[in-house]
Structure 1
Amino acid sequence: MKYQLRVAVLIIIDSLIVMLSIFIGNWLLAPTAELMTTPLIATSFALVISHHIFAYVFKLYKRVWQYASTRELSAIFLAVTFSIIVVAIFQLTVFQALYTRTLCVTWMLHILLIGASRFSWRLYRDMKFQVDHSKKRTLIIGAGNGGTLVARQLLDSQMSELRPVAFIDEDPAKQKLQIMGVPVIGYEKDLTSIVRDKAIEHIIIAIPSLSKQDLNNIFEKCSETGVRTQIMPSLEDIMSGRVNVNEIRDVQVEDLLGRDPVELDTKTIGEKLTNKKVLVTGAGGSIGSEICRQVARFSPRKMILVGHGENSIYAIEMEMKAKFPNIEVVPEIADVQDKERMVQIMFDTKPDVIYHAAAHKHVPLMERNPYEAIKNNVIGTKNVAEAADMANVSNFVMISTDKAVNPTSAMGASKRIAEMVVQHMNRVSRTNFVAVRFGNVLGSRGSVIPLFKQQIAAGGPVTVTHPDMTRYFMTIPEASRLVLQAGAIAEGGETFVLDMGEPVKITDLAKNLIRLSGFSELDIPIKYTGMRPGEKLYEELLGENEVHQEQIYPMIYRGKTPLVNIQVVSDLIRESPELDPDELRERMLDLAHFRVKHLIEAEDKNVVSPLRKA
């Protein structure tokens, strides 16, 4: 029904109801009295007019009544009450009399009939779309606001293949009650028996505020039932606008391995980023692109996206312009190995803050090509850092890795040497240089999870190098936010380490992914292939001589780093093209492990550098 026709029908219905209310009310009070009196007729017309005025004020004609709820009932109550008050004033003014009993009965009939006319639409809709028993019987875990939203969405949607039949909740006060006609029938400990007794075919976890550990525990119980389990988005995702509250999705491994989000010091970060020019190298990569998204939330004046791959830079440029139209976005296609180009970009754009995320990160590939690790991770970092110094950039944050700690690979060694370059630059420049070190990032390009998903989709097997292999994991948004936080509290020269929580066995990660994909290990076997060159069985975040026990911010530690003689690093860079891969790899590892003479400098030793403090 068109809006204009719908409003006209409602106005006619309401007019009839209002007039009937006052005449029926008067007849109930005085069945033998004359109805067509002047005061009664005048009052009925006054009531019709006042009703339509307040119906407009409280938008009674703009509401979708097939979804009527207590808000609509409240609007009816207010519109009718104010209408009666106006009519009472009219009677006192015109007739110097107040027909109190008639108005009270009219008020009750008015609410009853108006409410019935509206809620009959809801009743008709519910009767028309009766319970479809062909839909999957669904159990909702959580009978709070989240569970109620999910139940309403499933009951109202004819497209959904799910039908809620029960809630479980840990609140004893909700037991044996019903929410929207769906009963609360037990606790989490009763999950297995409820699934069996109620023939549950689907489970939805609907507690947005659930901690990661609690979610893990609940999912473990759900997985034992063999029933497909989905989840309502977390509060963090809802508040950030990434998802809608009604978007039910499958449980992902990130949900089980991530940690509860840390509250950021938005004021401090804002002071560093708001209305500033921010440059991100490697802006098209997994970490670099997420840093761009996180930085943009603090309203910088300009964002400079530097990257070597035109497709990835184009993608993040288009995304940034669509989501953050008020921020000037400048894409720059450039290679960090080209120092002249880095200097040109710095002087052209004059950034205030740099996040250096460009790097080679694949251990086996860099093990085979150590000179490329030197060129991109060490020389590239040196080029960007020196260009930042020349352009008087305020802050420079380098993204490092846990593989830089006691490295066993060319990639890890190259990142450790890059940290040395950054620490040295902080001593000779007015720019504040810091490094932020963290472990594996869930879902980043080239990480283990996309590989496992591909292997599962292909029918297996899932390949794991060693049954005892463990790694630290962190989600991309979590890592990027903590990088921003570390950069905001940096004073210069620090190596920050992000608390990655407990290390995870890669075998357990593979088992989780297989289970989340709806398979068992009988369907998708796990195959152990042996450790690859340069791999470590266990990762570390800090070496023994680097540890500061206290956190300087939740989930952020500051590592102690020895001063190094940059000339030794420069010698390796200069000689690296002439060394064969094996020799170069050994030289890199010796340097990263401080096994080189005259590498560590005393605190009070004068710094010799081609760069001078301005």
Structure 2
Amino acid sequence: MMRFRAKWLSFSAFAFDLCAVAVAWLSGYIIRFNGPVPEQFWQSGLHALAWVMIVYAVMFRGYGLYRGMWVFASLPDLLRIAKAVCVGALVVMIGAVLLQPSPVIPRSVLIVSPLLLFLVMGGSRALYRATKEFYRYGGLVGQGKPVLVLGAGTAGANLVRELKRSGQWRLVGLLDDDSVKQGREIYGYRVLGPIGDLQKIAAEVRAEHVIIAVPSASVEAHRRIATLCVRAGVKAMVLPALTHVTQGQAFLSRVRQVDLEDLLGREPVTIDSAHVERLLKNRVVMVTGAGGSIGSEMCRQILRFGPAQLVAFDVSEFSIYRLNEELREKFPDVAMVPVIGDVKDSLLLDQVLGRYRPGIVFHAAAYKHVPLMEETNAWQAIRNNVLGTYRVARAAIRHEVAHFVLISTDKAVNPTNVMGASKRLAEMVCSALQQGSRHTRFETVRFGNVLGSAGSVIPKFQEQIARGGPVTVTHPEITRFFMTIPEAAQLVLQASSMGHGGEIFVLDMGQPVRIADLAQDLIRLYGFNEEQIKVVFTGLRPGEKLYEELLADDEMTTRTPHPKLRIARARAVADHLIDELLPWLMQHRVPSDSEVRRDLRRWVPEYQPTSAPVLQDVSAAPVSRAK
């Protein structure tokens, strides 16, 4: 039944076009003689019409005018009509010259009739499509939610075409920073002004939703626009890069909500995959702290490069269980060995490394929560972060592991807290071990906060917003560096493939972000305002400083082939560091927090502990925007 209907529609369209040929041909004669046509010319024209219709019929079929449907008629269909009519007109002209009918066919008829035929065929299809769309979508117009489109380029124009048919959305206009486009119309919708006037224009047209349609713009431009949307109090959606749009896929189906990564505006990371693959392909790789945020992402990224085996080492049974289940499903062809253990357990480390013989070890196991490690747990931070690093590194040397990569932190630079000082001391331990190691290369990679990591500020803010607030920030001027977890993991792999031993790689963290601004943007991103969910300042916590650094004052950096990686030249480590440090780490007592801080000054001279401030509620303090 469907096939018969399709054939009938195709035949009807063909018959209509042949009728159009006749109408255009005879109309050409009427136009030529400006009214009544002389009898002899009319009879000649009717005789010629027979073979003219045959010529055009062959052209219409040859150019595939009936493969498409009129309801979806578009520019490609119009081009096919133009080709068929032009070639048909040329053949008719040649035929008129060769046949020499009496009286001859007027030249004006040979020119005017194809133009009329093109107008009738193209116009009828456009009218049919417009009528169908009116009946199909016309009743929906005015019922959807008002929306603005930001960007009047190609992507914005395509989005406008789809929004015209949407029952969910009612397009009220576009914004674009190009002054040439402002005031003009796209498919009947006006470009109302620049994107910078979003808040004013959105209020005027009462639009609470916007769609960002500038997929080819720079990351910085995307960040600016996304931040502008959030601070204007509108619900923003974004059309991703066009390179990710599947051919033929609707633009509107690709639109997604603006998220935190859009506000932070991180450039996408590209790594030298071939270089990293040479490091990891068909080799046994071990990751300590594999169940944590960074460790688990390291495992995911490593498995992309086809290692022979992955040894996932972590003290948390549940974390390893969850990681094991995930990776076995995603990478069934790679053998994964889940090991539950403490990085301070030398016997277990020797057993694991001796049995599986890894070629590279990524040491991500660490206690990293600053306030928790600052008071009551200071000695545990030292034992886990320093002694744990030493024992994993010594085991790597004993079993001739080729590469040992320490995951460090920006808090190790001029540390003001126990956690940062412990990581700096761990870096120094690796530097000291490198001096006496012949087979193992030691590299350190420093970076700042990662979005969504366990214990980080973002999940905390999200939980507080979900509870209805308030959102707690320690200080109005506190800033931090941020990057995504996959970005950090990829750059760690890139750095490890470039190291020759003893380097401290520093990741490009971009610009620091004010946490107060981040909190307020996140509140707006979830659809609330400052009256509904307040930001409360609680005072700096023990060991916390207003800003983080990536390089110590006495360090220099050198460039690497990768634009987001630099090498820090730290001060030299004493040859006898390990011999003097081990008795302190191995003492059979638990020093007090004050003793730990005092002794850390001996090993890490740049460590300047801060006194624990008295926490106070300063919620009345205004949040000033960064200029």
Give the TM-score range, shorter chain: 0.7 to 0.9
From 420, 441, 444, give the equivalent of 1:412.
420
**3-state SS of the aligned residue for 2:408?**
strand
Q: CA 1:268/1:165 → structure 2, altered by over 3 Å: closer, same or farther?
A: same
Q: Counterpart in 2 of 1:546?
A: 555
Q: Counterpart in 2 of 1:230?
A: 236
Q: Counterpart in 2 of 1:573?
A: 585
Q: Counterpart in 1 of 2:569?
A: 560
Cα distance in 2 for residues equivalent to 1:202 and 1:289? 37
Q: Contact conserved, 2:211 with 2:239, CA < 8 A, in 1? A: no
Q: Counterpart in 2 of 1:435?
A: 444
Q: Percent identity between the aligned chains?
A: 37
From 508, 515, 518, give the equivalent of 2:517.
508
**3-state SS of the aligned residue for 2:198?**
helix
Superposed CA deviations along residues 424-463 of structure 1, whole A, max 9, x for unmatched, are 3433142322111111122222111111121122222222
From 589, 604, 608, give the equivalent of 2:600.
589
Structure 1 residue runs of 5 or longer lacking an equivalent are: 597-614
Q: CA 1:115/1:328 → structure 2, altered by over 3 Å: closer, same or farther?
A: farther
**One-letter amino acid matched to 2:75:** T
Q: Counterpart in 2 of 1:202?
A: 209
Q: Contact conserved, 1:548 with 1:560, CA < 8 A, in 2? A: yes
From 465, 489, 493, give the equivalent of 2:474.
465
Q: Contact conserved, 1:50 with 1:86, CA < 8 A, in 2? A: no
Please report how far the alpha carbon of residue 523 of structure 1 lies from its aligned counterpart in structure 2 after TM superposition: 2.7
Please report how far the alpha carbon of residue 398 of structure 1 lies from its aligned counterpart in structure 2 after TM superposition: 1.8
**3-state SS of the aligned residue for 2:567?**
strand
Cα distance in 2 for residues equivalent to 1:588 and 1:211? 49
Please report how far the alpha carbon of residue 124 of structure 1 lies from its aligned counterpart in structure 2 after TM superposition: 0.8
Please report how far the alpha carbon of residue 35 of structure 1 lies from its aligned counterpart in structure 2 after TM superposition: 5.6
Q: Counterpart in 2 of 1:534?
A: 543
Moved more, 401-410 or 303-312: 303-312
**3-state SS of the aligned residue for 2:557?**
coil
From 62, 65, 68, give the equivalent of 1:50.
62
**3-state SS of the aligned residue for 2:566?**
strand
Q: CA 1:109/1:553 → structure 2, altered by over 3 Å: closer, same or farther?
A: same
Please report how far the alpha carbon of residue 122 of structure 1 lies from its aligned counterpart in structure 2 after TM superposition: 5.5
Cα distance in 1 for residues equivalent to 2:116 and 2:309? 62
- What TM-score, normalized to structure 2? 0.77
Structure 2 residue runs of 5 or longer lacking an equivalent are: 30-40, 608-627
From 388, 392, 395, give the equivalent of 2:403.
395
Cα distance in 1 for residues equivalent to 2:329 and 2:100? 65
Q: CA 1:228/1:408 → structure 2, altered by over 3 Å: closer, same or farther?
A: same
Q: Contact conserved, 1:262 with 1:554, CA < 8 A, in 2? A: no
Q: Contact conserved, 1:18 with 1:47, CA < 8 A, in 2? A: no
Q: CA 1:237/1:7 → structure 2, altered by over 3 Å: closer, same or farther?
A: closer
Please report how far the alpha carbon of residue 143 of structure 1 lies from its aligned counterpart in structure 2 after TM superposition: 1.1
**3-state SS of the aligned residue for 1:518?**
coil
Superposed CA deviations along residues 350-386 of structure 1, whole A, max 9, x for unmatched, are 5444433232211233333234434543344334434
- What TM-score, normalized to structure 1? 0.78
Q: CA 1:152/1:91 → structure 2, altered by over 3 Å: closer, same or farther?
A: same
Superposed CA deviations along residues 23-60 of structure 1, whole A, max 9, x for unmatched, are 55655567535569985686577557535xx46xxxx6
**One-letter amino acid matched to 1:154:** L
Q: CA 1:22/1:147 → structure 2, altered by over 3 Å: closer, same or farther?
A: closer
Q: Report 1:179-190 matches (<5 A).
A: 179-190=186-197
Cα distance in 2 for residues equivalent to 1:71 and 1:349? 61
From 107, 131, 140, give the equivalent of 2:149.
140
Superposed CA deviations along residues 489-547 of structure 1, whole A, max 9, x for unmatched, are 22211111223334333333323323333333333233333333333343222222223
**One-letter amino acid matched to 2:10:** I
Q: Contact conserved, 1:202 with 1:228, CA < 8 A, in 2? A: yes
Please report how far the alpha carbon of residue 487 of structure 1 lies from its aligned counterpart in structure 2 after TM superposition: 2.2
Moved more, 559-568 or 331-340: 331-340
Superposed CA deviations along residues 104-156 of structure 1, whole A, max 9, x for unmatched, are 95797378537744872464124421253232322222112332344344333
Superposed CA deviations along residues 176-224 of structure 1, whole A, max 9, x for unmatched, are 2222322112123443442343333323332234445545544565456
CA RMSD of aligned residues (A): 4.4
Q: Counterpart in 1 of 2:175?
A: 168
Q: Contact conserved, 1:400 with 1:438, CA < 8 A, in 2? A: yes
Q: Contact conserved, 1:168 with 1:185, CA < 8 A, in 2? A: yes
Superposed CA deviations along residues 284-312 of structure 1, whole A, max 9, x for unmatched, are 43223333444455x43446261434554
Cα distance in 2 for residues equivalent to 1:497 and 1:240? 37
From 309, 316, 328, give the equivalent of 2:334.
328
Q: Contact conserved, 1:213 with 1:256, CA < 8 A, in 2? A: no
From 466, 480, 493, give the equivalent of 2:489.
480
Q: Counterpart in 1 of 2:75?
A: 70
Q: Contact conserved, 2:281 with 2:308, CA < 8 A, in 1? A: no
Q: CA 1:313/1:200 → structure 2, altered by over 3 Å: closer, same or farther?
A: same
Cα distance in 1 for residues equivalent to 2:319 and 2:162? 37
Moved more, 458-467 or 367-376: 367-376
From 178, 181, 199, give the equivalent of 2:185.
178
Q: Counterpart in 1 of 2:259?
A: 252
Q: Contact conserved, 1:552 with 1:558, CA < 8 A, in 2? A: no
**One-letter amino acid matched to 2:439:** R
Please report how far the alpha carbon of residue 230 of structure 1 lies from its aligned counterpart in structure 2 after TM superposition: 0.7
**3-state SS of the aligned residue for 1:399?**
strand
1:362 equivalent to 2:369? Answer yes
Q: Counterpart in 2 of 1:385?
A: 393
**One-letter amino acid matched to 1:563:** V
Q: Contact conserved, 1:497 with 1:557, CA < 8 A, in 2? A: yes
Cα distance in 1 for residues equivalent to 2:323 and 2:75? 44
**3-state SS of the aligned residue for 1:11?**
helix
From 373, 381, 389, give the equivalent of 1:373.
381
Q: CA 1:239/1:539 → structure 2, altered by over 3 Å: closer, same or farther?
A: farther
